[in-house]
């Protein structure tokens, strides 16, 4: 391996290790889908972890990567109505990753505060 190739491999490994922009914490709470069709498809959904940028949901139904969803959730006494995009799907684990989009500055601050509360 040349020095240039070794440097590129190292930089790629570092970039992959730090992909997330927000710290993720383990957090379990119910999540409701705003769209009635999504709500019926999901049956029941709850979080496995949360960050200010998204969450991992356990749900019995599969979604397509790139699909838009609207979620309602109450976390640590804070109510959120958020829009997200399905980032990944793991059918074998009945889990999906949702990246929040269009989050207001106020909601972003509240999400960061909620995430911090789980670290205490």
Q: From CA 4, how far away is CA 50, in angstroms rounded?
A: 37
Structure-token pair, residue 86? 């399905």
pLDDT at 96: 93
Q: From CA 105, how far away is CA 73, in angstroms rounded?
A: 18
Backbone φ and ψ of 20, nearest 5°: -75, 135
DSSP code per residue over 30-89: EEEESSHHHHHHHSSEEEEEEETTEEEEEESS---TT-EEEEEEEETTEEEEEEEEEEEE
pLDDT at 28: 86
Q: What is the mean pLDDT of residues 6-28?
A: 59
Q: Over 70: is that where the pLDDT of 7 sits? A: no
Q: Could you tell me the pLDDT band of residue 109, with boundaries at 50, 70 and 90?
A: very high
CB atoms within 10 A of CB 27: 20
Tell which wins on pLDDT, 104 or 9.
104
pLDDT at 17: 45
pLDDT at 37: 62
Q: What is the mean pLDDT of residues 56-77?
A: 89
67: CB partners within 8 A, 6+ apart: 85, 86
Q: What is the mean pLDDT of residues 84-91?
A: 93
CB atoms within 10 A of CB 103: 18
Q: From CA 50, how far away is CA 34, in angstroms rounded?
A: 19
All structural domains of the chain, each given as residue ranges with its CATH number in brackets, are: 23-119 (2.40.10.220)
Average pLDDT, the chain: 80
């Amino acid at each position: 391996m040349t020095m240039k190739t070794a440097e590129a491999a190292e930089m790629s490994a570092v970039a992959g290790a730090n992909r997330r922009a927000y710290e993720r914490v383990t957090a379990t709470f119910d999540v409701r889908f705003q769209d009635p069709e999504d709500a019926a498809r999901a049956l029941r959904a709850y979080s496995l972890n949360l960050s200010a940028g998204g969450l991992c949901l356990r749900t019995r139904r599969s979604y397509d990567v790139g699909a838009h969803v609207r979620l309602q959730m109450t976390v640590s006494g804070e109510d959120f109505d958020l829009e997200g995009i399905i980032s990944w799907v793991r059918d074998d684990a009945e889990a999906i990753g949702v990246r929040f989009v269009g989050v207001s500055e106020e909601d972003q601050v509240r999400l960061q505060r909620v995430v911090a509360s789980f670290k205490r």
